[in-house]
Structure 1
Amino acid sequence: MADSKKIAFLTAGEGIERVELTEPWKAVQDAGFEPVLLSPESGEVQTFDHLDKSTTQKVDEQVKDASVDDFAALVLPGGVANPDALRTDKDAVFFVKTFVDSGKPVAAICHAPWTLIEADVLRDKRLTSWPSLQTDIRNAGGDWVDEQVVVDGNLITSRKPDDLQAFDEALVKAVEG
């Protein structure tokens, strides 16, 4: 089991697919871990139900001030706009790369692997995502497969909200050791 009971959830300020944040959040809470929302900016983030605005959630800490050492795992929720914005933030990309390199679990769903691509951590990794990312993943050196959940080393990936139960189970299993 990890030293820390905290799980980092990293998102941009908007465009986050609500259930891809809230369902894993609840799963790690139910397993006795403390979810912490990181974002490039302070304040609140805007979640979406596909293309419609949904709820907001308070940011706990700016990613530039966060340390990988303080967390047992990292979760990257999807949504199209969220990872697209996140991969343009140098502090977020550095945090993701450092987290993957640490060997601690990193879980990404839907479009979230865009940030992993930007962090250049997919070479020789087997993973899945929303199908439109498969060419991007292959171009980044990854082996894209169409499966509900894929675990390759410390990387956990899933395709879409319909895969959340398997994604959450793989995440909790990884952080519990």
Structure 2
Amino acid sequence: MTMPHIINYLTKIQFGENAIAELANELQLLKIKRPLFVTDKGLSATPLITHVIESAQLDDGACVFDDTPSNPTEVAVEQALTYLRASKCDGIIAVGGGSSIDLAKAVALLFNHPGPLRQYAAIEGGVTKIKADVLPLIAIPTTAGTGSEVGRASLITMKDNRKIGFSFSLSDSFGRYL
């Protein structure tokens, strides 16, 4: 088995054949014991999610939020955050394309930052309100092209139908990508 390659950019990126085998190690490094898997209905209906969950080597079962819309919304962020808290999750694993990853980033932000989400928007001057205390996040992209898996920004459709961008701090616990 070959070891994954590592790039340290704004985030730690591991790639290569079977990089998913590093998931359990990354969870340990981030001290995540009960992650919330954020994905969409299409992916949750495939064996891929089962493979990712098994790779996590969890002792306490898996919590899966698969209601990510094709364009992540403020409502979906709130639903995922409610589920995360009710399930007592201590980290997030986003599996999918840019939508799942962007939704997961917004949930990670709101876990330790009071709402509403809009106050953290770049256009609202909210970047400086975002502190390093963001819930740990690992992303496992299944698509290419959005760049969400390497960036520190998220695009969310708000309740008023405006798409707003959020830019996150450089916390060491935010952003590990396999």
TM-score, length of structure 1 as denominator length: 0.37
- Larger relative contact order (CA 8 Å, sep ≥ 6): 2
Please identify which structure carries the higher strand content: 1
> If you compute each CA radius of gyration, which structure gives the higher value, 1 or 2?
2
TM-score by length of 2: 0.37
